[in-house]
Amino acid sequence: MVDIKIIVCIKQVPGTTEIKINPETNTLVREGIETVINPFDTYAIEEGVRLKEKLAPLLSQTGEEIETIALTMGPPQSGEMLKEAIALGIDKAVLLSDRAFAGADTWATALTLAEAIKKFDDWKLIILGKQTLDGDTGQVGPELAQKLNIPFIGYASSILDINKNRMTIKRLMEDRYETFEIRLPAAISVGKDINIPRVPSLRGKLKAKNEAIPVWDKNYLNLDQSQIGLEGSYTQVIKISMPEHHYEVKMLEGSPDHQVDELYGKLKELNIV
């Protein structure tokens, strides 16, 4: 019997700057693109693993156990990312995957994640990266907390104290630090100032290799098509287009002295110097 569960929500994002867009759905093309764990989510994984390492010896004194679970919603290939999370020390992982989930906005995503989290007992803390590199909204964390009716603290920079019922957490705002004491269960989002993610371990990688990742679909979560995917989304990306940049390049020629004079003249003309 596991007494405390920490759930880390992660997302697979394109590991390349060559973003491709499906012209019909106006969503990102994810198939066939090299993918990585969303960089901010790597800090969420590390914080989950560190909390377990810190709390496990204390809990074992009273015969209690703690477990970390990685959760993602995405195409079947996201299973590989979940294995990476296991190699980094996460205990187990669940993949939410169904064609019906495709095209979800942050609202439908948060709803799907919330329904999945309700399937677990005794979860105390949800950790998310503060935003994703592709969507960049930072909305899923707060929306998820609202759907689960739990407190949410965004941009956490350190967990000062935690026990089974409460945690004290610090975050850095533009001009100040804020410290909160919140009751658990709760959700937090983290950025890169909270820790330095570890390198995977050999035993972790070997465990991950043999790990079967359970896949939960819409039927398992008892979700209606109208609540999820594109249909369940309040927002839809109508069009994504790349900004057009206009550059004018002029190569300066002649002796270095002449080039410097000409460059200085140009910069002066543009009121830069």
Partner 1 sequence: MHYFLTEEQQMIVDICRQIVEERIKPQRAEMDENCIFPAEIIKEIGKSDLFRLFVPEQYGGMGTGIFEVCLATEELSRGDLSVATTYAASGLGFIPIILLGSEEQKKKYLPQLASGEKLAAFGLTEPEAGSDVGAIRTKAVKDGDFYILNGTKQWITNGGEADIYTVFTMTDPSKGARGASAFIVEKGTKGFDFGKKENKLGIRASATRELIFTDCRVPKENLIAGEGMGFIAAMRTFDQSRPAVGAQAVGVAQAALEEAINYSKVRKQFGASISSLQAIQHMLADMATQIEAARTLVYHAAKVIDSGEKNVSRLSAMSKLFASDVAMKVTTDAVQIFGGYGFMKEYPVEKMMRDAKITQIYEGTNQVQRNIIALDLIKRGVL
Query: Closest approach of Cβ 36 to partner 1, in Å?
Result: 13
- Contact between 54 and partner 1 by CB under 8 A: the answer reads no
Q: What is the DSSP annotation of 47-62? A: HHHHHHHHHHHHHHTT
Taking CB under 8 A as the binding criterion, the range among 61-69, 98-106, 185-193, 201-209 that sits at the site for partner 1 is 201-209
Query: Closest approach of Cβ 207 to partner 1, in Å?
Result: 11
Residues in contact with partner 1, shown as a per-residue x/- string from 159 to 198 under the rule CB under 8 A:
---------------------------------------x
- Contact between 201 and partner 1 by CB under 8 A: the answer reads yes
Q: Which is nearer to partner 1, 202 or 270 (CB)?
A: 202
Residue 234's alpha-carbon distances to 106, 109, 178, 247, 250, in angstroms, are: 9, 11, 32, 38, 48
Query: Closest approach of Cβ 201 to partner 1, in Å?
Result: 5
- Rounded to whole angstroms, the Cα distance separating 112 from 97 reads 10
The set of residues, in sequence order, having a beta carbon less than 8 Å from that of 94 and lying 6+ positions away, is: 69, 70, 71, 82, 116, 213, 214, 215, 216
Question: Which of 75, 168, 200, 215 touches partner 1 by CB under 8 A?
Answer: 200
Residue 42's alpha-carbon distances to 45, 163, 196, 261, in angstroms, are: 5, 23, 9, 50
- Contact between 202 and partner 1 by CB under 8 A: the answer reads yes
Q: Which residue's structure tokens are 């007992």?
A: 121
Residues in contact with partner 1 by the rule CB under 8 A = 198-206, 209
